């Protein structure tokens, strides 16, 4: 069975500092990987996804994630965060051939001025 | 283009009562998913439909839960004889017919259920 572990439940950082949100997964088959973001009082939105090809994927607002098959990780990074990045971030995995998403527990990113 | 909508947004009920939630997917999305999210946890898959066919059900979906999508458009999720452990946010998502290996799931705002 698949599982996703987000190693940090909360990550506080200062504005303009770099951040890394960690995600590890376990699966016996090839997977697709996703990061979703939930801003305060809003629904889940897709931030970025890895399906195949280049292991480094980027979002339109400066986040990037790298698929590392040997480490079974898909960590999310941003070189310089903004107050507006305050949100909860969820890592998710889907088996190739399946449709359901398996989510991690979430990481709450708090940006301090 | 409207997003996924869910109704109601909040529901408070007493233990033992039945509740029904509705989800309207994005137009022309033929796949519809239900997830449940409890406090401090990520969403957990409950079930999904392709058109009107229910193709997969999680073991989390006990006999008290039933989901339908009668005409392949909106879906309802009913919980019978609610229990306090059913208190959670119920999320609906939809995706379009796959043109690649997997399509993005678009989530609605959720229905927050509180069972007293």
Q: Does residue B60 surpass a pLDDT of 90?
A: no
pLDDT category at B40 given cuts 50, 70, 90 is confident
Say how far residue B7 (Cα) sits from the centre of its chain.
11
With CA atoms as reference, report the closest residue to A37 among A108, A113, A111: A108
pLDDT category at A52 given cuts 50, 70, 90 is confident
Find, in chain A, the residue whose alpha carbon is nearest to that of B95.
A99
Question: How many beta-carbon contacts under 8 Å exist across A and B?
Answer: 60
Find, in chain B, the residue whose alpha carbon is nearest to that of A98.
B102
Q: Does residue B102 surpass a pLDDT of 80?
A: no
Question: What pLDDT was estimated at residue B100?
Answer: 65
With CA atoms as reference, report the closest residue to A56 among A47, A65, A44: A65
Q: Does residue B7 surpass a pLDDT of 70?
A: yes
Paired residues of B75 in beta bridges: B23
Q: Does residue B71 surpass a pLDDT of 90?
A: no
A27 or A106: which carries more pLDDT confidence? A106
Q: Compute the mean pLDDT over every residue in chain A, rounded to the nearest whole number.
A: 91
pLDDT category at A16 given cuts 50, 70, 90 is very high
Q: Which two tokens stand for residue B92?
A: 């609906």
pLDDT category at B99 given cuts 50, 70, 90 is low
Q: Are the CB atoms for B47 and B31 separated by under 8 Å?
A: no
Q: Are the CB atoms for B33 and B48 separated by under 8 Å?
A: yes
Question: What pLDDT was estimated at residue B84?
Answer: 96
Minimum mean pLDDT among A14-18, A77-81, B2-6: which range?
B2-6
> Does the beta-carbon distance from B41 to A92 stay under 8 Å?
no
Dihedral, CA atoms, B42, B63, B105, A41, nearest 10 degrees? -50
Find, in chain A, the residue whose alpha carbon is nearest to that of B98.
A99
Question: What pLDDT was estimated at residue B42?
Answer: 93
Question: What pLDDT was estimated at residue A95?
Answer: 78
User: What value does the mean pLDDT take over residues B58-85?
Assistant: 93
Residues 62-101 of A with CB under 8 A from B: 90, 92, 94, 96, 99-101
Give B72→chain A minimum CA distance, Å.
17
User: What value does the mean pLDDT take over residues A6-18?
Assistant: 96
Interchain contact A104–B (C-beta under 8 A): yes
Q: Which of A10, A25, A101, A108 to mutate to test the interface with B (most CBs of B within 10 A)?
A: A101
Q: Are the CB atoms for B32 and B23 separated by under 8 Å?
A: yes
Name every chain A residue with its beta carbon within 8 A of the beta carbon of B44: 103
* Pairing mode of beta strands A3-6, A23-26: antiparallel
Q: Compute the mean pLDDT over every residue in chain B, rounded to the nearest whole number.
A: 92
Most confident of the following: A20-34, A44-58, B75-89 = B75-89
DSSP B25: P
Q: Which two tokens stand for residue B70?
A: 């009668």
């Amino acid at each position: 069975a698949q599982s996703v572990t987000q190693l940090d439940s909360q990550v506080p950082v200062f504005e303009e500092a770099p951040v890394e949100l960690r995600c590890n997964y376990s699966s016996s088959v090839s997977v697709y990987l996703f990061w979703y973001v939930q801003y305060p009082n809003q629904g889940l939105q897709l931030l970025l996804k890895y399906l195949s090809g280049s292991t480094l994927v980027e979002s339109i607002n400066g986040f990037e994630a790298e698929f590392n098959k040997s480490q079974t990780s898909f960590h999310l990074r941003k070189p310089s965060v903004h107050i507006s990045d305050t949100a909860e971030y969820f890592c998710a995995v889907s088996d190739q051939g399946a449709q359901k998403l398996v989510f991690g527990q979430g990481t709450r990113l708090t940006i301090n001025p | 283009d409207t997003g996924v909508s869910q109704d109601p947004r909040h529901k408070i009920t007493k233990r033992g009562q039945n509740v029904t939630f509705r989800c309207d997917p994005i137009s022309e999305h033929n796949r519809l998913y239900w997830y449940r999210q409890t406090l401090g946890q990520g969403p957990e898959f409950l079930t999904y439909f392709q058109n009107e066919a229910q193709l997969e059900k999680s073991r989390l979906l006990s006999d008290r839960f039933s989901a339908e999508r009668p005409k392949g458009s909106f879906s309802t999720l009913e919980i019978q004889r609610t229990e306090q452990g059913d208190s959670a946010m119920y999320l609906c998502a939809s995706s379009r017919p796959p043109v690649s290996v997997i399509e993005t799931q678009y989530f609605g705002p959720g229905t927050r259920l509180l069972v007293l």
